[in-house]
Amino acid sequence: MNGTKDIVLPKFYPKQLAFLEAKGARNCYGGAAGGGKSFVARWLLILQAYKYAGINILMLRRTFPELSENHIKQLIQILNCKNPSKSERLAEYKADQKVFIFPNGSRIKMGYCKNEDDVYQYQGQEYDVIFMEEATQFTETQYIYLTSRNRLSSEKMKEYGFKPRMYFTCNPGGVGHAWVKRLFIDREYTPTENPEDYTMIYAQVTDNKFIMENNKDYVNNLMNLPEDQKKALLYGDWDVFSGRFFTEFSIETHVIEAFPIPKGWRIYRTRDYGLDRTAVLWIARDFEGNSYVYREFGESNLVVSEAGKKINELTEKWEDIYMDIAPPDLYNKNSQTGRSAADIFREKCGHYLTKASNDRVQGWLTMKEMFKLESINGEEPKPKLFIFKNCTELIKCIPLLRFDESNPNDVAKEPHNITHMPDALRYYCISWTYEPIENPSKKNRKDTLPFELRDDDAEEEKYISWD
């Protein structure tokens, strides 16, 4: 670069090289702790700043102390910023603006987003490269907002043929575990996301020769961590992470193949409603008090009457809803119309709702009790709550729920989008008071199949009408 000394590159490990060479729109290097992610992150910034004169880069950590301790100090040293002779410096560091400025006009802005709204400080800015270090510490809302800031900053960058990019490094766990896992591990995309944009490089601690040779104790320490933390930080396992609330839940035990609901089992319906998400679960209770979540419905942007209509469309005529459970906030009256969501569900959709308690701690504890394996009369231990395989949103959300940092008996309310289905289930769990008894009037029912109504049964079936 003109007017500066040449920079001496370290020897990168193969995974680090793969990350440096990744040029997709979204590139993630994640997994085990100590793989060398932060190290390569710094070099990636420097190399891009060197290669593309005038590039505008944003480097983010969640908090300023993390940013300062992990990157600013090291970059100041690598770039020789404190050298008294200007010509010996590879870049200037302007501490008041937290920006490194290179002689070729490239800039690396060092930023952080401690609070949810801190991300809006980048409003109106354009960054050719955005780097989210420890990406799983950021919320999905922050990530989505940042994607809107990732665009070409100048004509010059266009001339290079440069495509705006985002880079991520991370370990499993943290408030952003769910969105990172969806994009880079599960690779489940919305219609507006292009799968080819997402590149994942899996980090292992064994990738890092420096640690393996000089810090053997570090690996031993990881070995001694509790099982889920060990899996996440030593092996980079994305299916577990520390802070998980429902440690008693496992896919192998609680998720089962669908089966026809036998006659006489009591049917419950439970919901969480908001414009952001309508989440509804249909649950059958057997005569031993076991509960089976057998259907779910989740959709965003539905007004109350639309949500009610869809719920009715999904509810089959054989389903004689014993209790239709709803959270207390649905009973809040609108100050202008004087009517509540519960009123609209009743008047327009025929839903006679039962108000659940919103004692969160008690609700989660009841759910934990129901997930817990228990042996009755010396039999094989079993839970009381099962989920049919087809309820995919609920099954995905439960393992992602984390402890609320300020109250270990409560579930964190962020990320909000994973709380809707579990909230609906919580309202059911807390409303459960007694086991169903066989209803003699239903003795003659011929059908055991839940998903069809026999003609000769139709007349005697009570069901919720939406006509």
Ligand X SMILES: Nc1ncnc2c1ncn2[C@@H]1O[C@H](COP(=O)(O)OP(=O)(O)OP(=O)(O)O)[C@@H](O)[C@H]1O
Count of residues for the chain?
Answer: 467
Size of the site for Mg ion (CB under 5 A): 2
Of 34 and 363, nearer to Mg ion (C-beta) is: 34
Least distance in Å: CB of 144 to Mg ion? 23
Least distance in Å: CB of 318 to ligand X? 53
Quick one: which of 7, 12, 24, 38 contacts Mg ion (CB under 5 A)? 38
Q: Please, which of residues 424-453 interact with Mg ion by CB under 5 A? A: none
Secondary structure string (H, E, C) spanning the chain: CCCCCCCCCCCCCHHHHHHHHCCCCEEEEEECCCCCHHHHHHHHHHHHHHHCCCCEEEEEECCHHHHHHHHHHHHHHHCCCCCCCHHHCCCEEECCCCEEECCCCCEEEEEECCCHHHHHHHCCCCECEEEEECHHHCCHHHHHHHHCCECCCCHHHHHCCCCCEEEEEECCCCCCHHHHHHHHHHCCCCCCCCHHHEEEEEECHHHCHHHHHHCHHHHHHHHCCCHHHHHHHHHCCCCCCCCECCCCCCHHHHEECCCCCCCCCEEEEEEEECCCCEEEEEEEECCCCCEEEEEEEEECCCCHHHHHHHHHHHCCCCCCEEEEEECHHHHCCCCCCCCCHHHHHHHHHCCCEEECCCCHHHHHHHHHHHHCCECCCCCCCECCEEEECCCHHHHHHHHHCEEECCEEEEECCCCHHHCHHHHHHHHHHHHCCCCCCCCHHHCCCCCCCCCCCCHHHHCCCCCCCCC
Least distance in Å: CB of 214 to Mg ion? 17
Q: Which stretch binds Mg ion (CB under 5 A): 36-44, 100-108, 183-191, 400-408?
A: 36-44
Quick one: which of 210, 259, 287, 352 contacts ligand X (CB under 6 A)? 210
Least distance in Å: CB of 86 to ligand X? 28
Q: CA distances (Å), 49 to each of 1, 12, 104, in order?
A: 10, 18, 8
The reply to whether 235 sits near ligand X by the rule CB under 6 A is no
Name the residue with the smallest CB distance to Mg ion. 38
443 binds, among Mg ion, ligand X, none (CB under 5 to 8 A by kind): none
The reply to whether 204 sits near Mg ion by the rule CB under 5 A is no
**Separation CA 301–CA 97 (nearest Å):** 40
Q: Which stretch binds ligand X (CB under 6 A): 83-91, 203-211, 274-282, 392-400?
A: 203-211
Least distance in Å: CB of 237 to Mg ion? 18
Of 134 and 393, nearer to ligand X (C-beta) is: 134
64 binds, among ligand X, Mg ion, none (CB under 5 to 8 A by kind): none
Least distance in Å: CB of 11 to ligand X? 6
The reply to whether 12 sits near ligand X by the rule CB under 6 A is yes
386 within 8 A of 293, measured Cβ to Cβ = yes
Of 70 and 439, nearer to ligand X (C-beta) is: 70
The reply to whether 211 sits near ligand X by the rule CB under 6 A is yes
Q: Which stretch binds ligand X (CB under 6 A): 7-15, 373-381, 401-409, 445-453?
A: 7-15
**332-354 residues labelled b (16+ CB within 10 A) or e (exposed):** eeeeeeeebbbbbbbeebebebe
Q: Please, which of residues 26-65 interact with ligand X by CB under 6 A? A: 33-39
Please, is 422 exposed, middle or buried when counting C-beta atoms within 10 Å of its C-beta (0-12, 13-18, 19+)? buried
Size of the site for ligand X (CB under 6 A): 16
242 within 8 A of 255, measured Cβ to Cβ = no
Q: Which stretch binds ligand X (CB under 6 A): 96-104, 207-215, 265-273, 425-433?
A: 207-215
Report the candidate in 283, 240, 287 with the shortest Cα–Cα distance to residue 386: 283
Least distance in Å: CB of 214 to ligand X? 8
Least distance in Å: CB of 167 to Mg ion? 13
Least distance in Å: CB of 228 to ligand X? 16
CA atoms in the 13 A half-sphere facing the CB of 94:
10
Q: Which stretch binds ligand X (CB under 6 A): 44-52, 156-164, 204-212, 355-363?
A: 204-212
Of 205 and 307, nearer to Mg ion (C-beta) is: 205
> Mask 153-192, x = binds ligand X (CB under 6 A)?
------------------x---------------------
The reply to whether 74 sits near Mg ion by the rule CB under 5 A is no
- Strands 353-355 and 407-411, bridge-based pairing: unpaired
The reply to whether 10 sits near ligand X by the rule CB under 6 A is yes
Least distance in Å: CB of 211 to ligand X? 5
36 binds, among ligand X, Mg ion, none (CB under 5 to 8 A by kind): ligand X
Of 37 and 42, nearer to Mg ion (C-beta) is: 37
Q: Which stretch binds ligand X (CB under 6 A): 88-96, 119-127, 205-213, 354-362?
A: 205-213
Of 16 and 417, nearer to ligand X (C-beta) is: 16
List of residues contacting ligand X (CB under 6 A): 10-13, 16, 33-39, 171, 208, 210-211
List of residues contacting Mg ion (CB under 5 A): 37-38
